[in-house]
Structure 1
Amino acid sequence: MHADIGNALDGALGLDRAALDDVDDRVASAHERVERGRADGAHGYAALNLPETCDPDPVERVAAGFDPESLFTVGIGGSALGAATITDALDSPVDAYYLDNVDPEWVSALCDRVDLSETVVNVVSRSGTTAETLSNFLVVREAMDDAGVDWTERTVVTTGAEGNLRSLADRHDLPALDVPDGVPGRFSALSPVGLFAAAVSGHDIEALLAGGAAEAEKLSGSLYDSPAYAYGATSYALAERGAAVDAMMPYAESLERFAEWFAQLWAESLGKDGRGQTPARALGATDQHSQLQLYRAGPADKLVTLVRPTERSDTPIPETDLEGLSYLGGSSLGELLDAEFRATEASLAAAGRENVRLEVDRVDERGLGELLYAMEAACVLYGELADVSTFTQPAVEWGKKAARGLLGGGEFAEADAVRDKRRLEID
């Protein structure tokens, strides 16, 4: 991956090269802490070892047992978004669906319209107790029974060493993959959590891991030697100066889900103790016609992150004699998208609005591995510089307890807080 942070300097928020150099002095000690955590396999830091520690063979063996038309990944948050990012970005003969919400109409309609006899189900939960995941799995399992499909022949479990799903896999002799120890879900894309969907869809998971390994080799004690650290340190430095929002804007339709994955990574990891950046999701060039107005002329409280591949297939634009459009003929959609990218970048810079350019060679397995790993490393570095607990999510856990209590799953003070909701109702 390549990072260009030039347009993050000398903008409205006042980050200059001298200030960035001061941040770089802190990157060295932060990197030392990251490396100690990696060496110890400490919780969270172990995620940055995945390109080395993740064995693709078990994933490939399980995937080889299926030749499905469709894939249901039943998970939520990090148990689904990494896999979805990969399969959405790459061409595949398998239709991949992600049951990461419990909207009853949507789930029922999906089960009704997909041929469940040609579907493999991967249910993903480290604990085996995630309410949304287990509920959706039970619904899918019943739908398979109703359709006369033996769900035990179409189900793969990805879970921890113990828990309900592990017991289910043992009882029914289901193929089971391991959620790695010490890796929070949002950091698990380059593990069996994210790689099974890629493997069963026919993609090269070793290339994904190789892309991650290439970025891992670039991590060093200076932001000027590592694209990942350059992005993490620049984002942190701008946030300290008022960039409360990070708008992730890929210029590739295939990377739209990547922006969603990034939003969870950034929000859940860094939103602690009154700190962090709010991730916004945009898509170039589409959102030049909507959100860009705000980014360029609204409050100066944003970093805009522009992402693109430098190589892609292209489609020529036919010649036309329509008045005012003849300049498009003989060009291509790729050239137009590139012009839109550079125009957006320049437009923001001209208005003093900070932006960063991130590039990979291609949206392929290696490029995705680079991008995913680099953003994870950037997030970890940001957390170190901001002194937040990057790998926890107490606010998420609060909501889980509240929902469980409301459903009769135990006595939780959080559920009482829901019942005591303040009301001011207008009909």
Structure 2
Amino acid sequence: MRVDLGNALDSVASPGVSRDALSRLDERVADAHERIETGRADDEHGYAALNLPETTDTDEIRSAVEPFADAETVLTVGIGGSALGAATLANGLDSDVDAYFLDNVDPEHVSALLDRLSLSDTAVNVVSRSGTTAETLANFLVVRDAMESANVDWTDRTFVTTGEEGNLRNLADRHDLPALDVPDGVPGRFSMLSTVGLACAAIQGHDIDAVLDGAHAEADRLAGSLFESPAYAYGAATYALDERGAGINAMMPYAESLETFAEWFAQLWAESLGKDGLGQTPVRALGATDQHSQLQLYRAGPSDKMVTFVRPTERADRSIPETDLPGLEYLGGGSLGSLLSAEFEATEASLAASGQPNVRLEIDRVDEYGLGELCYCLEAACVLAGELYSVETFVQPAVEWGKRAARGLLGGGNFEEADEVAEKSTLTVE
């Protein structure tokens, strides 16, 4: 895992950060690292997430999913951190077992997906720490009904990942369903490297030990200096750039398989750091696609953004046939990989030429080890940034407000937040 901050320096970009400023910030990084290490040693809430490469029991995961070895499809029913980590791995890696995710309650989408699945060949994983998440349980009730309508014994095709108590735990106990425990002290958005994110990968046949090995390699590189740790280099640089006006962070991987990774990053960054009027706004992009849809703004719009490029340095390639079409001779005989690399380097250079800050993250390959490296690195970067901002990284009170309001509107209890919905101001044009 490599992080290049060259195009974030003030000699290149505005806003930018000087080398001297980074050196001064490094003193605060050292203090933050000490706090992080104390939290890890004590398995404190949130900080425990950074211990998952060591504490996750992969044998337990493989044992729980063994009854579903015949599955041709795995359907994860969850939302937010209960689905995005697993989806990042599933969409980043190839498998003969298809993976789908019900992480929204759009009725048309849910119906269309269930209509095309062979439910008798599908393993269903219902994921909710509390076991009370409205969207997850509603979708599961719909899935269970669809299985019963298709004469499929849902108890043979379902397992749960949940906390020690709650509706899902009670369901698992009542029907003797396989169950995995959500790890204590690990918020959902930090749970990819646990039972939450790895069960789907295990059913798909991926090497979940290699995922943790990659993460462990990055954990070993955490040190008291941003100049010694890629994770801290990224976390400190994003914080410094935000302080200087780059309040938007466009995550732009140059690999189609990493598109879901950008979604995972958006939740990690927004939900962890968006507090007390602080935090960068994450934006999802995809290279080279969004060179043709977003780059105009990043290069020539307001100077309030940074772009984070992610790319693997090794990948499978495909040649471009020779051609005699006028003007296209330069493409013939080349390869799609060479074209994508040229697009990457040109986009990076174009932002630097216009003074827009950007940072490059590189892994060797998009494989289990590489994804473990990349995602752990960004989790640690996020924790460090939270320390520098002095925010409560591991809570999400604004999200909980909306959950209470929705539950009240649905008759799930008396919540004052639901009363405020009726007070909405309107200005309707028809």
Same fold (TM over 0.5): yes
Secondary structure of residue in 1 paired with 2:183: coil
* Partner of residue 47, structure 1: 49
- Of 246, 249, 260 in structure 2, the residue corresponding to residue 246 of structure 1 is 249
* Partner of residue 37, structure 1: 39
Superposed CA RMSD? 0.6
Deviation at 1:62, TM superposition (A): 1.8
Residues 378-416 of structure 1: CA deviation (Å, up to 9, x unaligned): 000000001011000000000000000000011111000
Task: In structure 2, give the amino acid aligned to 1:194.
Answer: G
Residues 328-365 of structure 1: CA deviation (Å, up to 9, x unaligned): 11210000100111111111011110000000000000
Matched, 1:265 2:274: no
Task: In structure 2, give the amino acid aligned to 1:40.
Answer: D
Task: In structure 1, give the amino acid aligned to 2:124.
Answer: V
Distance in 2 between the 1:255 and 1:398 partners?
A: 31
* Partner of residue 60, structure 1: 62
Distance in 2 between the 1:419 and 1:298 partners?
A: 38
Residues 14-413 of structure 1 correspond to what in structure 2 (within 5 A)? 14-66=16-68, 67-413=70-416
Deviation at 1:55, TM superposition (A): 0.6
Secondary structure of residue in 2 paired with 1:145: helix
Distance in 1 between the 2:36 and 2:302 partners?
A: 34
Cα contact 2:8–2:16 (8 A) shared by 1: no
Deviation at 1:61, TM superposition (A): 1.1
Distance in 2 between the 1:352 and 1:241 partners?
A: 14
Secondary structure of residue in 2 paired with 1:65: helix
Task: In structure 2, give the amino acid aligned to 1:7.
Answer: N
Distance in 1 between the 2:401 and 2:64 partners?
A: 35
Deviation at 1:63, TM superposition (A): 2.0
Distance in 1 between the 2:106 and 2:155 partners?
A: 25
Distance in 1 between the 2:304 and 2:19 partners?
A: 19
Runs of 4+ in 1 over 3 A off after TM superposition: none
Task: In structure 1, give the amino acid aligned to 2:115.
Answer: D
Deviation at 1:35, TM superposition (A): 0.2
Deviation at 1:422, TM superposition (A): 1.1
Distance in 2 between the 1:352 and 1:393 partners?
A: 34
Which moved further from structure 2: 105-114 or 382-391? 105-114
In structure 2, the gaps of 5 or more residues are none
Distance in 2 between the 1:63 and 1:411 partners?
A: 39
Residues 53-89 of structure 1: CA deviation (Å, up to 9, x unaligned): 0010111112222121111100000000000000001
Residues 240-259 of structure 1: CA deviation (Å, up to 9, x unaligned): 01111000000000000000
Distance in 2 between the 1:110 and 1:234 partners?
A: 41
Identity among equivalent pairs (%) = 73
Distance in 2 between the 1:113 and 1:309 partners?
A: 34
Task: In structure 2, give the amino acid aligned to 1:148.
Answer: N
Residues 253-298 of structure 1: CA deviation (Å, up to 9, x unaligned): 0000000000000000000000000000000001001101100100
Secondary structure of residue in 2 paired with 1:223: coil
Distance in 1 between the 2:120 and 2:66 partners?
A: 17
Distance in 2 between the 1:147 and 1:310 partners?
A: 46
Deviation at 1:138, TM superposition (A): 0.3
Distance in 2 between the 1:312 and 1:264 partners?
A: 27
Deviation at 1:14, TM superposition (A): 3.6
Secondary structure of residue in 2 paired with 1:279: strand
* Partner of residue 6, structure 2: 6
Distance in 2 between the 1:112 and 1:313 partners?
A: 34
Calculate the TM-score normalised by the size of structure 1. 0.99
Distance in 2 between the 1:137 and 1:58 partners?
A: 24
Deviation at 1:172, TM superposition (A): 0.4
Distance in 1 between the 2:98 and 2:348 partners?
A: 35
Secondary structure of residue in 1 paired with 2:400: helix
Deviation at 1:112, TM superposition (A): 1.1
